[in-house]
C-alpha cells in the first residue's frame, strides 16, 4: 500500500479546499485581460529579488516564503526538510503573508496569485493530485482567511514571459 508523506497529505487537503472554494486557474493571456479590464490584481508571491527582476506591470509582491535568517540547530534542520521537499533551501513560510496582503488588497478584491511555475490542481497520470506550487499554497491561505475572488495563474510568470506579455523591472 502506497503511503503519502505528510507534505503530500497536506497538499491533498489544500487541493480539496481550493476545489471546494472554486479557485479557478487562468492562463496568462486571460490573466492579462482580467488585470486590464476587470480590476484583478496580480499578487506575485515569489521572493522580492525575483519580483524586482521582472514582473507583470501593476503586480503586487508579497513573498510567501522568506529566507531563514537564524542558524540554530532547529533552523538548520528546517532548511534540510524544506530542501528535501523541493522548496529552495534556506526558506520558511512568511508569517506575515496574510497581514501583508490584507494591508494591500481588501477581502473583496479580485486576485490572481502568481509564482514562477504555477502548479495545477488538475490531475494527470503521473500526478493524480495535480502539482503543488507557491501560488496554490498562497491561494489556499487567502481563501482560508476570507478572500472570495481568488484565481490562480497557470504556468506562472515563466509562461507570462514566454508568451511575450508585458513585464517591468525594478532594477534600474
Give the pLDDT score at 124: 82
C-alpha cell at 127: 500526478
The pLDDT > 90 percentage for the chain reads: 58
Active-site choice (31, 115, 143, 153) = 115
Binned at pLDDT 50, 70 and 90, residue 169 comes out as: very high
pTM of the model: 0.83
Lowest mean pLDDT among 55-69, 78-92, 123-137, 148-162: 78-92
Across 46-60, average pLDDT: 93
Cα distance between residue 119 and residue 170, in whole Å:
26
Cα distance between residue 100 and residue 5, in whole Å:
31
Give the pLDDT score at 122: 86
Q: Length of the chain in residues, anyone?
A: 172
Across 164-170, average pLDDT: 93
Give the pLDDT score at 3: 46
C-alpha cell at 123: 490531475
> What is the secondary structure of 38-53 as a DSSP string?
S-PEEEE-S-HHHHHH
What is the three-class DSSP state of 19? helix
Q: Is 115 a catalytic residue?
A: yes
Give the pLDDT score at 2: 44
What confidence tens digit (pLDDT) does each residue in 73-128 have? 766 666 666 666 555 555 677 889 999 999 999 999 999 999 998 888 888 888 88
Amino acid at each position: 500500500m502506497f503511503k503519502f508523506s505528510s507534505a503530500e497529505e497536506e497538499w491533498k487537503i489544500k487541493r480539496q479546499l481550493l476545489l471546494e472554494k472554486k479557485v479557478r486557474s487562468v492562463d496568462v493571456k486571460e490573466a492579462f485581460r482580467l488585470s486590464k479590464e476587470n480590476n484583478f490584481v496580480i499578487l506575485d508571491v515569489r521572493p522580492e529579488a525575483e519580483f524586482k527582476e521582472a514582473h507583470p506591470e501593476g503586480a503586487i509582491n508579497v513573498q510567501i516564503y522568506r529566507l531563514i535568517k537564524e542558524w540554530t540547530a532547529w533552523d538548520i534542520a528546517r532548511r534540510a526538510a524544506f530542501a528535501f521537499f523541493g522548496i529552495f533551501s534556506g526558506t520558511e513560510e512568511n508569517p506575515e503573508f496574510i497581514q501583508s496582503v490584507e494591508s494591500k488588497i481588501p477581502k473583496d478584491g479580485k486576485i490572481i496569485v502568481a509564482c514562477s511555475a504555477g502548479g495545477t490542481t488538475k490531475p494527470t497520470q503521473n500526478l493524480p493530485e495535480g502539482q503543488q506550487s507557491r501560488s496554490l499554497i498562497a491561494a489556499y491561505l487567502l481563501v482560508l482567511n476570507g478572500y472570495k475572488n481568488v484565481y490562480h495563474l497557470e504556468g506562472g510568470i515563466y509562461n507570462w514571459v514566454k508568451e511575450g506579455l508585458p513585464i517591468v523591472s525594478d532594477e534600474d
